[in-house]
Amino acid sequence: MKGTEEENLLSEVTEKNYEYGFTTEIESDTIAPGLDESVIRTISKKKNEPDWLLDWRLEAFAAWSKMEEPEWAHVTYDKPDLQSISFYSAPKQKKVLASLDEVDPELLKTMEKLGISLEEQKKLSGVAVDFVMDSVSVATSFKETLGEMGVIFCSLGEAIQEHPELVRKYLGTVVPQRDNYYAALNSAVFTDGSFCYIPKGVRCPMELSTYFRINQAGTGQFERTLIVADEGSYVSYLEGCTAPQRDENQLHAAVVEIISHDEAEVKYSTVQNWYPGDKDGKGGVFNFVTKRGICHRAAKISWTQVETGSAVTWKYPSCILKGDDSIGEFFSVAVTNNKQQADTGTKMIHLGKRTRSTIISKGISSGESQNSYRGLVQIHPSAENARNFSVCDSLLMTDRCGAHTFPYIEVKNPTAQIEHEATTSKIGEDQIFYCQQRGIEEEEAIGLIVKGYAKDVLNKLPMEFAVEAQKLLTISLEGSVG
Amino acid sequence: MLKIKNLHAKVGDNEILKGLNLDVKPGEIHAIMGPNGSGKSTLAAVLAGREAYEVTDGMVELDGTDLLDLEASDRAREGVFLAFQYPIEIPGVSNLNFMKAAVNAKRAHQGQPPIKAKDFLAKVKECSSLVELDGRLRDRSVNEGFSGGEKKRNEIFQMAILEPKLCILDETDSGLDIDALRVVSKGVNAMRSPDRAFIVITHYQRLLDHIIPDFVHVLSNGIIVKSGGKELALELEAKGYDWLKEEQNA
């Protein structure tokens, strides 16, 4: 079994081009590029939103208009020209879809290329997939099964129509409209995303997953995800993304909010594989994402991410540990190759007593890329006996890349226990030769060594993702030793 | 099986092998001895295909195949195994997965399907008992946190799993206590077969008490200066290497 997998891996490795670089030709309903108040009104109207949401968007827009794009991250790029972006692009389709048969065959084909045919997913893996192509969800499966348990899993747009009270109660409570430049922009113009609500005491029986995809050339994608786990509930949520190859930079500014109520647990796993640009750094996605969760009493949130794509990334999935005895976790593998730049990490904000957090970050830099870990561990005066354990390791594949670590630790309570470990190492010629001497080719050897290095994080991924993630690691590092 | 003719090799500008000749037939054990810096480990590295070593002249054939033409991984698949003097640690990669990848790489090379889990585990069990490698070490990351003796035993374990044609042991006895030496030697002896050959590189006679060679060669300044039977090793042990230099100069 394992052997065939490795072989498949190898053959994929030899295919040089970004393999998800195709576009689907579907008639799109796209509004003219540019951003002003009327664009926001148009989006809101197209989505048939209630007035309170339009007002909420306009507030965000007003706040955003006074903000400056941040420059503190360890990345350099040409700022995207927002006036040249179209802020709404929805695949045209007939009314509401009752079954897969009604979905545009072109869309289905795209899904097949991605290896996530809904039919197959349904049968084989028990994963309910809410597939987001550009901005509008086109298919949702397993809805009935989930519905029987009271689990709501749908597009945010749908939730706004059908569960407005829930959306209104939670939207923006973890990532406020004016949180930061791109979160504010997202709040003003978000088009769709996923919504998930797990009722009290319910253990969601399947992994919930959403695939995101930027499909329309020049369309910024502003997804917004809201996950609410009510008291004592559990949910594991998977998010993976691939984007077609583009020459101009594409902006992706998503917001994810998680509310984990008393004794609830949310696992959020991401495999991020947006187009990274070519070898010279041309093209590629700008991935400026705000992800944050709040933990109430004895609640838990785990962020696990495998980041291999995007030209520029800044992303800090964070936990506000508000309730006593709550737990936050962050497990990350970030790979950068060629000219990619990543500035990623987490924030653990300890407010409650006996709150605990764990951070394991594994950076892998290759080519001429720059890979930074940036993390904040903050122990507030109220957080008696809080604990944090952090590991951040960096692996260098070439002598032209950079690995940087920016750990911030603020402790305002003397009972806190903080541990921080960090290492930087270069992939060893000796290790590669040792593998080769046992008959393992160089590319496979690198894959093996890197997977070993990232094992602590890969182990945290749900099975469905682990294989894909391992493939991505190997593919992203192809031909990278030097 | 292995034919080495007039082999010259250098590292950087430093020529280390200066016209080495060696002929190894199936079933034979050849011991290579010699003072420090004579080129013993270089010979091992050149045969295994380490990139830092540049072959400037000569030829090496394994069963008629030009070894020097092959990548290190292809040489391994053709049946060359090097037991490292200092085995390398690979954190996070379990010993078993590592071996499985190696076995399947070789099988793919031979046009065979990947090994069945059941067959692989049976093989692992058999080979680990050969060198008294306990399950704990099999499941741990490759060589990580292993003692010196455990690392050497692990090398022989890997050798047993991969069933090479030509086994090169590079100072496998260095850093071993008497018990570990006995275990390692037992493993090697169990692998002796009419179609397998060994090149045993060592400083000391004591290894050759356990692994009895058919031939002993003395390497000095990049060439073989004397060859003989196993009694040559005893003579070296008693008299050192200096008398050979005198003999050469005379």
Cβ B101–A6 below 8 Å, yes or no? Answer: yes
Q: What is the CA radius of gyration of chain A?
A: 22
* Residue B56: closest CA among B20, B3, B23: B20
- For the stretch A386-403, pLDDT in tens is 999 999 999 998 889 999
Which of A3, A437, A444 is facing B114, going by the closest CB pair?
A3
- pLDDT at residue A126, rounded to an integer: 39
pLDDT band at A69 (very low <50, low <70, confident <90, very high): confident
Compute the distance between CA of residue B225 and CA of residue B19 in angstroms, rounded to an integer: 11
Q: The complex's ipTM?
A: 0.96
When mean pLDDT is compared across A347-351, A389-393, B122-126, B233-237, the lowest value belongs to: B233-237
Tracing tokens 């590189």 back to the chain, one arrives at: B201
Mean pLDDT of A375-380: 96
For residue A428, give Cα distances in angstroms to A395, A432, A433, B48: 10, 7, 9, 17
Cβ A438–B141 below 8 Å, yes or no? Answer: no
Sequence-ordered list of residues with C-beta below 8 angstroms from that of A190, at least 6 positions apart, any chain? A156, A222, A223, A224, A255
pLDDT at A243 over 70: no
Tracing tokens 């980041």 back to the chain, one arrives at: A307
pLDDT band at A93 (very low <50, low <70, confident <90, very high): very low
Mean pLDDT (chain A) is 81
Cβ B108–A449 below 8 Å, yes or no? Answer: no
Mean pLDDT of B210-215: 94
- pLDDT at residue B21, rounded to an integer: 96
Domain count for chain A, please give it: 1
Tell me which long-range contacts A62-69 makes (C-beta under 8 A, separation of at least 24).
A63/A177, A63/A178, A63/A184, A64/A178, A64/A181, A64/A184, A64/A185, A64/A187, A64/A188, A67/A178, A67/A180, A67/A181, A67/A184, A68/A181, A69/A181
Compute the distance between CA of residue B81 and CA of residue B90 in angstroms, rounded to an integer: 18
Environment class of A54 (CB within 10 Å of its CB; exposed 0-12, middle 13-18, buried 19+): middle
CA distance, residue A156 to nearest chain B CA (Å)? 40
Q: What is the CA radius of gyration of chain B?
A: 18
Which of B73, B81, B91 is facing A440, going by the closest CB pair?
B73
* Residue B176: closest CA among B144, B202, B142: B202
Cβ A437–B93 below 8 Å, yes or no? Answer: no
pLDDT at B227 over 80: yes
Residue A481: inside a domain, yes or no?
Answer: no
Architecture of domain B2-249: 3-Layer(aba) Sandwich (3.40)
Compute the distance between CA of residue B156 and CA of residue B174 in angstroms, rounded to an integer: 14
pLDDT: which is higher, A41 or A464? A41
Compute the distance between CA of residue A286 and CA of residue A80 in angstroms, rounded to an integer: 9
Cβ A444–B90 below 8 Å, yes or no? Answer: no
Q: What is the DSSP secondary structure assignment for residue A190, as one 8-state letter?
A: -
Q: Beta partners for B223?
A: B220
- pLDDT at residue B122, rounded to an integer: 94
- The first and second tokens of residue A280, run together, are 């010279």
CA B151, B156, B162, B167 dihedral sign is positive
CA distance, residue B87 to nearest chain A CA (Å)? 8
Burial pattern A425-456, b for ≥16 Cβ within 10 A else e, equals eebeeebbbbbbbbbbbbbbbbbbbbbbbbbe
Which of A441, A442, A453 is facing B91, going by the closest CB pair?
A453
- The first and second tokens of residue A333, run together, are 């593998």
Cβ A448–B90 below 8 Å, yes or no? Answer: yes
Sequence-ordered list of residues with C-beta below 8 angstroms from that of B14, at least 6 positions apart, any chain? none
In contact, A335 and A308? CB cutoff 8 Å: yes
- pLDDT at residue B250, rounded to an integer: 59
Residue A295: inside a domain, yes or no?
Answer: yes
Cα B237 to the center of its chain, rounded Å: 22
- pLDDT at residue B212, rounded to an integer: 94
Mean pLDDT of A107-136: 48
For residue A228, give Cα distances in angstroms to A131, A233, A234, B203: 19, 10, 10, 69
- For the stretch A410-433, pLDDT in tens is 999 999 999 999 988 888 889 999
Sequence-ordered list of residues with C-beta below 8 angstroms from that of A226, at least 6 positions apart, any chain? A156, A159, A167, A170, A171, A193, A194, A195, A196, A256, A257
In contact, B164 and B79? CB cutoff 8 Å: yes
- pLDDT at residue A481, rounded to an integer: 57
pLDDT band at B17 (very low <50, low <70, confident <90, very high): very high
Mean pLDDT of A307-315: 88
pLDDT at A59 over 80: yes
When mean pLDDT is compared across A169-178, A237-246, A247-256, A386-395, the lowest value belongs to: A237-246
When mean pLDDT is compared across A120-134, A429-443, B46-60, the lowest value belongs to: A120-134
* Residue B83: closest CA among B20, B216, B173, B210: B173
- pLDDT at residue A310, rounded to an integer: 85
pLDDT: which is higher, A14 or A230? A230
* Residue B75: closest CA among A441, A13, A431: A441
- pLDDT at residue A354, rounded to an integer: 98
Environment class of A30 (CB within 10 Å of its CB; exposed 0-12, middle 13-18, buried 19+): middle
Half-sphere exposure of A242 (CA within 13 A, CB side): 18
- Residue of B88, B97, B120, B151 best to disrupt the A interface, most CBs of A under 10 A: B88
Compute the distance between CA of residue A474 and CA of residue A355 in angstroms, rounded to an integer: 36
* Residue A112: closest CA among A194, A221, A24, A214: A24
Compute the distance between CA of residue B47 and CA of residue B4 in angstroms, rounded to an integer: 10
Percent of chain B at pLDDT > 90 equals: 80
- The first and second tokens of residue A202, run together, are 């319910």
Residue A39: inside a domain, yes or no?
Answer: yes
In contact, B1 and B196? CB cutoff 8 Å: no
- pLDDT at residue A271, rounded to an integer: 84
In contact, A110 and A24? CB cutoff 8 Å: yes
Compute the distance between CA of residue A478 and CA of residue A472 in angstroms, rounded to an integer: 10
Task: For residue A64, give the H/E element and its range.
Answer: helix A51-65
- The first and second tokens of residue B43, run together, are 């010979």
Residue A356: inside a domain, yes or no?
Answer: yes
Interface of B to A at Cβ within 8 Å reads 48-51, 71-73, 76-77, 81-82, 84, 87-93, 97-102, 104-109, 114-115, 117, 141, 158, 162
Cβ A448–B100 below 8 Å, yes or no? Answer: no
- pLDDT at residue B135, rounded to an integer: 79
pLDDT at A467 over 80: no
Packing angle, helices A442-453 and B95-109, rounded to 10: 160
Mean pLDDT of A158-187: 94
pLDDT at A257 over 90: yes
Coil, helix or strand at residue B76: helix
Q: What are phi and psi of A445, to 5 degrees?
A: -60, -45
pLDDT at B101 over 50: yes
Residues of A in contact with B89 (CB under 8 A): 431
Percent of chain A at pLDDT > 90 equals: 48
- pLDDT at residue B219, rounded to an integer: 94
Residue A367: inside a domain, yes or no?
Answer: yes
- pLDDT at residue A461, rounded to an integer: 86
Domain that holds residue A118: 2-476
- For the stretch A96-110, pLDDT in tens is 445 556 555 655 555
pLDDT at B78 over 60: yes
In contact, A215 and A134? CB cutoff 8 Å: yes
In contact, B211 and B188? CB cutoff 8 Å: yes
- pLDDT at residue A353, rounded to an integer: 97
Task: Check if A11 contacts B (Cβ < 8 Å).
Answer: no
Number of H helices, E strands in chain B: 10, 12
Residue A482: inside a domain, yes or no?
Answer: no
Task: Check if A455 contacts B (Cβ < 8 Å).
Answer: yes
Please work out, in degrees rounded to the nearest 5, the angle formed at the alpha carbon of residue A186 by the alpha carbons of A185 and A188: 65
- The first and second tokens of residue A21, run together, are 């670089």
State if pTM tops 0.95: no
Which chain A residue's Cα is nearest to B144?
A452
Rank A15-29, A146-160, A213-227, A463-477 by mean pLDDT and report only the highest: A146-160
In contact, B106 and A445? CB cutoff 8 Å: no
In contact, A271 and A298? CB cutoff 8 Å: no
Task: For residue A288, give the H/E element and its range.
Answer: strand A285-295
- pLDDT at residue A302, rounded to an integer: 97
Compute the distance between CA of residue B72 and CA of residue A47 in angstroms, rounded to an integer: 61
Residues of A in contact with B165 (CB under 8 A): none
Q: What is the DSSP secondary structure assignment for residue A327, as one 8-state letter?
A: E
pLDDT at A138 over 50: no
Tracing tokens 């992994």 back to the chain, one arrives at: A207
Mean pLDDT of A454-479: 79
Number of H helices, E strands in chain A: 13, 23
pLDDT: which is higher, A121 or A457? A457
pLDDT at A14 over 90: no
Residue A354: inside a domain, yes or no?
Answer: yes
CA distance, residue B49 to nearest chain A CA (Å)? 8
Mean pLDDT of A55-83: 88
Coil, helix or strand at residue B175: coil
When mean pLDDT is compared across A64-73, A109-118, A254-263, B70-79, the lowest value belongs to: A109-118
- pLDDT at residue A9, rounded to an integer: 45
pLDDT at B132 over 80: yes
Mean pLDDT (chain B) is 92
- The first and second tokens of residue A59, run together, are 């507030």
